[in-house]
Amino acid sequence: MIRAALQNSSWLMSEKVIGMAMNLLVALVLARSLGPELFGQLNYVLALVALVLPLTALGMNALIMRELVEAPERETEIMSTAAAYRSIGAVVGVLGLFLWAFMSSMVLVERISLVVIGSAAILQSFQVVEFYFQAQVSARHIVKMRTAIILIAGLAKLAAVALSPSLLPVACVFALEYLAWGVGYIVLYQQKANGFRWHAVNWDYGWQLFKQAFWLVLSGIAAVLYLKIDQVMLGNMVDKSEVGIYAVAVKLSEVWYFFAVAIATSFFAGLIKLKQESPAIYQRRLQQLCDGLLVTALIVALAVTLLADPVVPWLFGDAYRSAAPILMIHIWASLFVFMRALASKWLIAERLLVFSLVSHGLGAVVNIAANWLLIPVYQGQGAAIATLISYAGAAYFAFWLSASTRPLAMIMTHSLTLPFTLGRRYWQLLGDWQQHWRDGKK
């Protein structure tokens, strides 16, 4: 199980390394070519699209993995039903974007860009294919497809901004990228598995899945609110230039989050089996994974904090120099984001779906309130502080609110104290090993 999970993680991480490099290059060129104002408009539109993306998933991602692991013989029914329901959710979300586009005070080019990208995002409902391959602990097929799209789309964005450094051409390429992902998922599943079948859609079964996932739908909306609402509020309360500067810091901070998601996702199927077969080992694996995620986040946060001031203006130019202090604050939210990646899977395994909404809802409320108070005074840095506070609340402190989630809160606390107790734990482990060696000689 561990070997397969590690191989799966290596495939996902290899994709992320390539994606990180290409996305960093694209963000660098777009930021320099468009300038803070247009780059801010682009990221404002992308943030609005991100707000409705939870409706293309309907909270079913981890549920689909669980269903496929527990009932692999029902694969076609599970996948076809999930795709049908997710497509309905996607259409509802895009209609909401259209309503926003025509009722808000956005300028015309922003409205057109929002409609174009939002329409293409409908096909993200077929991302359900990704969770089929992850349930099989076989991510290489997805990785190859997505890596090809990332590279081609990245080059297309560079070409678009070189030919016309304006918002709409670049937005069209983002839309084409969404379309390519959707078509790629469909084609891959048709070739490598049973394929989607309309006659296999079970509307009653889908309704049962939706009712199970209902809290996760609301949780996903709440989660994306405290992930993206800062850029929307900055655009409305300050200006789009500040969104552009803030977006540079956020991109350099959030690019690391995928490592946590890849690790937690790869071990999820194995954790479900361990929970059924060996609860004691299941608890040890949870602590080990949480420790590893925390240490990884700590290393990343320290490195980014030390390098932010010289690296940000060197990469993006003096126009974005003020993004460096924003990044120094925002990156520390990764400590809680990394642990939250494991916590999200744990809530699924323990069937505590309602609490996912509680924690994300708390984070959304705290983030909106903190942004409302801090943005007028500190602008981008205020939004970063609000993000750090809300992530800590949703990913850690919220887990102390219920007796059913306190066991995980204790695991996370144990991980958070790891940097201060590492020496003691090392000597304890060494002592246990020496005692075991002496007992073996007797």
> Looking at the whole model, is its pTM more than 0.95?
no
pLDDT cut 70: percent of the chain above it? 90
Higher-confidence position of 422 and 399: 399
Of the pLDDT bands very low, low, confident and very high (cuts 50, 70, 90), residue 436 is very low
Average pLDDT over residues 144-161: 92
Q: Which tokens go with 200?
A: 């296999």
Show Cβ contacts of residue 406 under 8 Å, excluding neighbours closer than 6 positions.
399, 400
pLDDT digits (tens, 9 = 90+) for 260-276: 877 787 777 677 777 76
pLDDT tens-place string over residues 304-355: 999 999 999 998 989 999 999 999 999 999 999 999 988 888 887 788 877 8
Burial (CB count <10 Å: 0-12, 13-18, 19+), residue 394 = buried
Rounded to the nearest 10°, the torsion over CA 383, 388, 391, 395 is 180
| DSSP class per residue in 83-148 | HHHHHHHHHHHHHHHHHHHHHS---HHHHHHHHHHHHHGGGGGGGHHHHHHHHTT--HHHHHHHHH
pLDDT tens profile 45-78: 999 998 888 888 887 777 787 787 777 778 888 8
